[in-house]
Amino acid sequence: MINTFILLTGYNMNMLFEYLLRPEIFILILAIVILKKSIIFVPQNQAYLIERFGKYQSTREAGLNFLIPFIDHIGADRSLKEQAVDVPSQSAITRDNISLSVDGVLYFRVLDPYKASYGVDDYVFAVTQLAQTTMRSELGKMELDKTFEERDVLNTNIVASINEASGPWGIQVLRYEIKDIVPPQSIMEAMEAQMKAERVKRAQILESEGDRQAAINVAEGQKRAVVLKAEADKEERVLRAEGEAQAIVAVALAQAEALHKVGEAANTEEGQKAIQLDLATRAIAAKAAIAKESSVVLLPDSSNDAASIVAQAMTIINSLNKG
């Protein structure tokens, strides 16, 4: 059975070779191979560097491209997309001689595939090393406190320095971000103590400001209360004075009206008799009061003493009326 299978297989292979060696089949296969070697499709945001006999010939960008088969070949494949490379942690010394451990992320893209391929052996490694050396150089220009406060300025300076040095490589650095800055443990403890002292200081300042503002508010309230009380007292005195003045005026007007009416009544015969009667009554009442208060009683010389008093009073009134 096995021998039969081997004989059949060998027979079939011979027939296949005979079929493939037919001129038309060979030419068809050769045409397909040549066509495949002469047509390339370059993906979007990529560039192929074509070499001819080992020498740079051209750069092919996205789309359909044609090559000379067996002569041209793809020497390098470069991505034109933005790339992110992790910059390993490294030690750097600040301007005030503090050792820091710093790492970051570098974002860049290839602008010139020819320079990135033939200007440097490994552009990713080269730009990473350049980022590390530039970061150490920039950190050496700054003090420790500034590295935390001005991180954006530090990133910008690093990007500018890298772009200046990586120009011959056809690389553009878009941005550099420092991920972490780790000072020594002793410096961290000192910084924590300083921050704690600053927080305590700010708390005390805020508390004192609150007390001062509260005292000012209390004083302003007391001042306002005194002013309002004085204004109220002033208003009260003014109103009382106005009320008393109006009362005096009203009393004076009432007395004047009463005197006017009395005068009009006294100018008549009946008024004269009423006045005589009133004067006599008052005279008798006055003598009765004197007699009540004193143990000595003086009797008049004549019985018509009251009448004489009334007559005298009427004489005075008549004189006033004539005047």
Extents of the domains making up the chain: 2-78, 83-183, 196-265, 267-322
Convert the pLDDT of each residue in 105-125 to its tens digit: 999 999 889 888 888 888 899
Q: What residues of the chain score a pLDDT lower than 70?
A: 1-26, 259, 263, 265-277, 279-280, 283, 286-323
The pLDDT value recorded for residue 7 is 42
Are the C-beta atoms of residues 89 and 101 closer than 8 Å to each other? yes
**Kind of pairing between the strands at 72-79 and 83-93:** unpaired
Convert the pLDDT of each residue in 46-93 to its tens digit: 888 888 888 888 888 888 888 888 888 888 888 888 999 988 888 888
Q: From residue 298, how far is each of 245, 251, 279 by CA, in Å?
A: 46, 39, 20
The length of the chain in residues reads 323
Model confidence pTM above 0.75: no
What is the separation, in whole angstroms, between the first and last Cα of the chain? 183
Fold annotation for 83-183: Tetrahydropterin Synthase; Chain A (3.30.479)
Convert the pLDDT of each residue in 225-244 to its tens digit: 888 888 888 888 888 888 88
